[in-house]
Amino acid sequence: MRIESDKDLRGMKRIGEICGLTLKLMLDSVEAGMSTRDLDDIGRDFMTKMGAVSAPIRAYGFPGYTCISLNDEAAHGIPRKDRFIQAGDLLNVDVSAVLEDYWGDTGATIIIPPAQPAQIKLCEATRRALDLAIGMARQGQRANAIGRAVEKYAKKQGYRTLRELGGHGVGRHIHEKPSIPNYYNKRNKDVLADGMVVTLEPFLNTGRGRIKTADDGWTLRTVDGSVSAQYEHTVIINGAEPVLLTKVDGGYV
């Protein structure tokens, strides 16, 4: 979407804040031994309190309020009562919600202690990749230039990006144009413009950078059992410095 009025700006700031606060609350609440469904319930209760609705449920009928992925699950993990978070796990939570027809999206990856050096390096590199994308997200920038920069940075750090997953337009729906891939796609001619609302979300992977859909029809797993990290903000393109709608005090992204 494009911001076209003060109402649009207020609406996007509000849903962005709700998404950011939901993510922070969930990650603050994680404990080894809890189920991913229990963690999802925390997100559900907070969204409901704020008057928001789960975007994946509304848009796609997803079987959970948020996406919770562990280890070789790259994205779209289904919260389950029998899926337990363990010490040493790499945990990704992706929160997207809608309020008064405005949609927001954010996500982050954390390590359940004790953390291994390789996990820390992956998360730090992915977070820096997001900073790189944010720094490039300005009017007149080609979306594929962001992808090229993220991919180049990932390779320099010894990682691959997940080509099937990337940033996208958001605001009137959870997934809109333009696409902002995390690799250089010469066919992508999209150009960012002031007022445009998009997500930026690098996915860095330790293996081949390929994923497959699990038997549950939702969860995206790496084909080689490798792990990935993701960090995501919803932003408004605004001159040389985008507005980070999903950034909250003390947040993880």
pLDDT at position 240 is 84
Q: Give one word for 11, left, alpha or beta, with left for phi > 0 and alpha for psi -120 to 50.
A: alpha
Q: Cis omega before residue 79 (within 30°)?
A: no
Question: What kind of fold does domain 6-244 have according to CATH?
Answer: Creatine Amidinohydrolase (3.90.230)
Q: Which residues contact 52 (CB under 8 A, 6 or more apart)?
A: 15, 18, 22, 97, 98, 99
User: Tens of pLDDT along 183-234?
Assistant: 999 999 999 999 999 999 999 999 999 999 999 999 999 999 999 999 999 9
79 has a pLDDT exceeding 90: yes
Range 163-166, long-range pairs (CB < 8 A, 24+ positions):
163/209, 164/211, 164/220, 165/74, 165/75, 165/201, 165/203, 165/211, 165/220, 165/230, 166/201, 166/203
Q: In the structure encoding, which two tokens stand for residue 46, read together?
A: 């907070």
Total-model pTM: 0.97
Q: CA–CA separation, 187 vs 189, rounded Å?
A: 6
User: Tens of pLDDT along 98-117?
Assistant: 999 999 999 999 999 999 99
